[in-house]
């Protein structure tokens, strides 16, 4: 009956998402430096990572502009919405973020990894990470 149950379930789900995305991020960064052979990374994996990252960033981007007065969202959509809210709480407007994300999405779509602004992706993933940490604090009473 403590705060653990439901929150622990949520944290585990978000952590799985974050794990997958940080893994994709590192591989894409390696690929952007053309050092995949050195780190034994397969070209097919890079394609999978690129698609994964594109899908994630597009979802967050859509959530930024979605009418917030609509609540019947799927579990995934709620995750993207929470990230979008986290991004907006840092000061930048929805339009600014949308523009930054559009630039990254464009570079990824064109396969121009050298042009990707990694900092944008790091900030988005950092927001997801901060959400997990907040939830953990609520459980542990930090």
Residues that bind another protein (CB under 8 A): 1-10, 15, 18-19, 22-23, 25-26, 29-30, 33, 35, 39, 68-75, 78, 118-119, 122, 125-126, 129, 132-133, 136, 138
Least gap, CB of 111 to another protein (angstroms): 19
Least gap, CB of 47 to another protein (angstroms): 19
Residue whose tokens read 């840092």: 90
Number of C-beta neighbours around residue 130 at 10 A: 14
Least gap, CB of 136 to another protein (angstroms): 7
7 or 54, CB closer to another protein?
7
- In the chain the first and final C-alpha atoms are separated, in Å, by 18
Core vs surface per residue 61-87: b (16+ CB within 10 A) or e: bebbeeeeeeeeeeeeeebbbbbbebb
CA 137 to chain centre: 21
114 or 138, CB closer to another protein?
138
Least gap, CB of 74 to another protein (angstroms): 8
Least gap, CB of 110 to another protein (angstroms): 21
6 or 91, CB closer to another protein?
6
54 or 136, CB closer to another protein?
136
69 or 91, CB closer to another protein?
69
Q: What is the 3-state secondary structure (H, E, C) of 9-74?
A: HHHHHHHHHHHHHHHHHHHHHHHHCCCCCCCCCCHHHHHHHHHHHHHHHHHHHHHHHCCCCCCCCC
């Amino acid at each position: 009956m403590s705060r653990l149950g439901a929150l622990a379930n949520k944290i585990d789900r978000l952590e799985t998402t974050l794990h997958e995305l940080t893994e994709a991020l590192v591989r894409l960064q390696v690929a952007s430096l053309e050092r995949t052979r050195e780190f034994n990374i397969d070209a097919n994996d890079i394609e999978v990572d690129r698609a994964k990252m594109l899908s994630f960033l597009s979802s967050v981007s859509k959530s930024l502009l979605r009418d917030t007065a609509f609540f019947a969202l799927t579990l995934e959509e709620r995750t993207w919405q929470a990230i979008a809210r986290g991004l907006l709480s840092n000061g930048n407007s929805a339009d600014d973020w949308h523009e930054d994300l559009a630039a990254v999405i464009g570079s990824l779509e064109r396969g121009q990894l050298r042009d990707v602004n990694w900092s944008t992706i790091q900030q988005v993933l950092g927001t997801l990470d901060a959400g997990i940490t907040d939830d953990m604090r609520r459980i542990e009473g930090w």
